[in-house]
Structure 1
Amino acid sequence: MAVNEENYKEVLEKTNAAHATLVAVSKTKPVSDIQALYELGQRDFGENYVQELVEKEAVLPKDIRWHFIGHLQSNKVKYIAPFVHLIHGVDSEKLLFEIDKQGAKNNRTIDCLLQVHIAQEETKFGFDENELKLFLETFPKYQALEKLKNVWIKGLMAMASFTDDMEKLKQEFAVMKALFQQQAKPETSNLKLETLSMGMSSDYELALEYGSTMIRVGSLLFGARI
């Protein structure tokens, strides 16, 4: 079995202690590895590529909660809309409207997280702090316009810089925690910021210290990706 059971139990214990959710990042990993972790009790799995996710969903147990954690193109939403549990990386209004459209076609409400850009790398996607504030101030008005009835914004997601500099990571996580707390608003029919998704294999413990409610861990559980 390619799954590191010892690491899994350790990460799960720390995640549970923080009352957070562990998403096992299974991208590029074979179905057999996902099944092995499933048999240990894991139900939340994260994938980065639409085609790979669709193929795995078709053959794995139907009670798996699939998280799409990669950069999602609008023209590919339709393929995962029938079953996806949570879309982590909503980085534009255009994408949100497409998710709503596909949710309506499938007669379901799709949960989403808004991706916030806190890292310094230019390769990261997402809203910056000002864009996020403006969007969340405007978003509740969409309800009155009878729009976006098939999406529910459940929180925020961020990817910290890929670095060993702990002070930089602390700074980025602190910014994200503050932003999450500032933007928490009374629940509406399609907006309830209750999830803060940040932290991966290399920094999940620090992320939990800074209030993460959902971590995305892959290599610690499955080994390094090829």
Structure 2
Amino acid sequence: MVNSNVWKSLTASFKEQHVTLVAVSKTKPVADIQELYDLGQRDFGENYVQELSEKESQLPADIRWHYIGHLQSNKVKYIAPFVHMIHAVDSFKLLLEINKQAAKNNRTIDVLLQLFIADEETKFGLDEKEIIELLDYYDAQKADLQHIRICGLMGMASNTDNETQIRAEFDRLYNVFLNLKQSSFLGKNYFKICSMGMSSDYKIAIEAGSTMVRIGSMLFGARNYNQ
């Protein structure tokens, strides 16, 4: 069951703040996604390749699908024909594979680099040094990487009730984003996405500069992973 009132409230607020809402629909049925689509939502986020592929084939073609989970290189080929954006790119190997599969499908895929900001070993991502190294590799081979476009950064804060810690982690991500925007991507208007914030911490994320938030449970209700 979709909470339409929450969706209307969020979209109205985010429009004023120039923030993109990605509705995280993982584990949720096609009917729920269709219901939110009918309200006007177009950006949806999924974490699992097989689930995303199955849903894409059953839903309207103008949905902008965001792959927001940790992506293995050997799975890129399954979503390359249609995915709108791949979040959480955390290696140059993955970047190369996305470019390869995008080329096969004669399209360009937008991606975000994942910065590790959480105080948790279970989270994925690159540190600042690794992002600079990846961008050095990217610049050196840019002529052969014409089918990807790095549009910004994403990150996940620690799973904690400590708002001071969460704010500091988001501030760190936003500062790295700004530094790259003013250096490696100077003059590149497409480098404009700082994706951070979920149902539990999106307000703090937006205050810290987020331009894209990933909201799931507020819109669709709690998930039942045993279904």
* Category of TM-score, reference length = shorter chain: over 0.9
* Equivalent residue letter for 1:165: N
Tell me which residue corresponds to 2:176. 179
Tell me which residue corresponds to 1:96. 95
Post-superposition offset of 1:193: 2.1
Q: Distance in 2 between matches of 1:14 and 1:196?
A: 18
**Unaligned stretches of 5+ in structure 1?**
none
Q: Distance in 2 between matches of 1:192 and 1:62?
A: 23
- C-alpha contact 2:89 2:113 (8 A) present in aligned 1: yes
CA RMSD of aligned residues (A): 1.2
The yes-or-no answer on 1:161 pairing with 2:174 is no
* Percentage of pairs with the same residue: 59
Q: Normalising by the residue count of structure 2, what TM-score does the alignment of the two structures yield?
A: 0.94
Post-superposition offset of 1:187: 4.4
The residue correspondences of 1:191-210 to structure 2 (distance < 5 A) are: 192-210=190-208
The yes-or-no answer on 1:107 pairing with 2:93 is no
Tell me which residue corresponds to 1:223. 221
* Secondary structure in 2 matching 1:216: strand
Instruction: Tell me the number of residue pairs that the alignment of Structure 1 and Structure 2 aligns.
Output: 221
Q: Distance in 1 between matches of 2:144 and 2:160?
A: 40
Q: Distance in 2 between matches of 1:158 and 1:193?
A: 15
What are the Cα deviations for residues 3-33 of structure 1, in whole angstroms up to 9, with x where unaligned?
Answer: 0111111221221121010000000000000
The residue correspondences of 1:49-88 to structure 2 (distance < 5 A) are: 49-88=48-87
Q: Distance in 2 between matches of 1:162 and 1:3?
A: 25
Moved over 3 A (4+): none
Q: Distance in 2 between matches of 1:141 and 1:79?
A: 28
What are the Cα deviations for residues 68-98 of structure 1, in whole angstroms up to 9, with x where unaligned?
Answer: 0000000000000000000001010000000
* Equivalent residue letter for 1:46: G
Post-superposition offset of 1:205: 1.0
* Equivalent residue letter for 2:96: F
- C-alpha contact 2:91 2:134 (8 A) present in aligned 1: no
- C-alpha contact 1:15 1:208 (8 A) present in aligned 2: no
Q: Normalising by the residue count of structure 1, what TM-score does the alignment of the two structures yield?
A: 0.95
What are the Cα deviations for residues 165-218 of structure 1, in whole angstroms up to 9, with x where unaligned?
Answer: 100011001111111001112246xx9421110000001111111111100000
Post-superposition offset of 1:135: 2.2
Q: Distance in 1 between matches of 2:18 and 2:136?
A: 29
Post-superposition offset of 1:103: 0.5
* Equivalent residue letter for 2:23: A
**Unaligned stretches of 5+ in structure 2?**
none
